[in-house]
Structure 1
Amino acid sequence: MAFSDDEAASFSEVTLAKTKKKQDPVFLVVVDDSEEMHQALQFACGRADAVGGKVALLYCIAPSEFEYFAGVGELMRAEAREAAEEKMSIHAEYVQQLTNSTPILYVREGDIRDELLSLISEETDISLLVLGADTNSETAGPLISFMVTRGASSCRVPITVVPGNLTDEQIDALF
C-alpha cells in the first residue's frame, strides 16, 4: 500500500509527536506547619521516585501586617524569608534523601490560595498537586476545602489528597 505525499507527511508528524520524550512529571507539595504535610511529602517523593519525576516545594509567607513603618515591615519580611528558607532546606534535604534528586523550591509572599493557583498556572511543568488531609478535625483542612470547592475550577492539574493518618510504610507500599 502506498501513501500519498500528504498522507506520508501526516504519518511522519504523528510518529514524531509520539516519540518525543514527555517532560518528567513534577509533584508539588505545599510546605506548612501541619502534621499531615509529612504524608503529602512522603507520597510525592514515592511517586516521583517511582516514575522518574521531581518534587517541588512551595512555601508561602503570609503578607506582613505591620506596615506602619517601612523599616519594621522590611525587617519582618526578611526574618520571615529567612525562616522560610530554613524550613525549606530541611524538607529539601529529606526529598533529596528519598528521591536522589534536588527538589524545585518556590517561596512566595501572599495568600496561600492565590499564590498556589498562580504558581500552578505559571509553571507548566507542575503536573500534580499533593496535599495532606487533616484527619483529626471535622474538615480536611482549609487549603483542601478551598481547592476541592472553589479552587478546583481554577487549577489546571489533578489534586491528590493524602490522609494524614497514614504511616510512611503504608504510603511507600503504594509504589
Structure 2
Amino acid sequence: MQRSAYEHGHKPKFLVIVDGSPESDRAIRFAARRAVRTASDLCMLSVITQPDDFEWIGVGEAIKAEAEAQAESFLETASQIAKDLIGIEAETLIRHGNASQEITKLIHEDSDISYLVLAASTNKDGPGPLVSSIAAKLAATFPIPIIIVPGALTDDEINALAG
C-alpha cells in the first residue's frame, strides 16, 4: 500500500490509541509533541470491544452506551491534554470491534496516518495487550512505523525526546 501523507495537499498524522490507561497518557504526550514538532496532525482513536455474550434485550445496548460514554470521556480528556500541550485540536474517533483490526482498517482508510504511537506498560506482566498484539505479531507487515514509548518515561523525558 502506497502512503500519500507526503504528497501535495496531504499532511502526515500521528495516530495514538486512547484507552484511559497511564500508558495511553505517555503515548498522547509523545504523539502530541512530535506532531507539533514535525508540523503534522494528531488523530486519537478509542476502540470499543463488543461484548459477545450480552444479546438480551436492552442489556447489550446498555453496555454499548456505557462503553461509548467512557470512550468519549477518555477522548475528551486526551484531546484537552493535547490542546494544553501543543495548542491544536486533535481529530478523535471511536471504533467498535477488535482493536488491532480497527487500527489497521483506519490506517488503510486514512492515507495521511503515517505513524502509530503506543506506550508500553510498566507492569511486570509485559508491555500490554495492544503493544504485544501489534508490535509482536504484526510489525513485519504493518503498513506504517510503530513508535513504542516506554511507559516509565517522565513528562520531561518525553518532552526532551519528542521535541
The aligned counterpart of 2:90 is: 103
What is the SS of the residue equivalent to 1:105? Answer: strand
Residues paired across the two proteins, number: 156
The aligned counterpart of 2:3 is: none
TM-score where L is the length of structure 1: 0.82
Is the 8 Å Cα contact of residues 24 and 54 (structure 1) preserved in structure 2? yes
Cα deviation, 1:97-117, whole Å, max 9, x if unaligned, reads 112111111101111111111
Q: Deviation at 1:136? A: 3.0
Whole-angstrom distance in 2 between the partners of 1:164 and 1:50: 21
Q: Quick check: which one's helix share is greater?
A: 1
Is the 8 Å Cα contact of residues 66 and 72 (structure 1) preserved in structure 2? no
Larger Rg: 1
The aligned counterpart of 2:68 is: 81
Segments of structure 2 that go 5 or more residues without pairing to the other structure are 1-6
In the alignment, does 2:42 pair up with 1:55?
yes
In the alignment, does 2:101 pair up with 1:114?
yes
What is the SS of the residue equivalent to 1:106? Answer: strand
The aligned counterpart of 2:4 is: none
Whole-angstrom distance in 2 between the partners of 1:152 and 1:122: 19
Segments of structure 1 that go 5 or more residues without pairing to the other structure are 1-19
TM-score where L is the length of structure 2: 0.87
Q: Deviation at 1:133? A: 0.8
Q: Deviation at 1:138? A: 4.5
Q: Deviation at 1:145? A: 1.5
Is the 8 Å Cα contact of residues 11 and 41 (structure 2) preserved in structure 1? yes
Q: Deviation at 1:155? A: 2.0
Q: Which range moves more in the overlay, 129-138 or 100-109?
A: 129-138
RMSD: 1.7
Cα deviation, 1:83-129, whole Å, max 9, x if unaligned, reads 21112111111111112111111101111111111111211111100
Moved over 4 A (4+): none
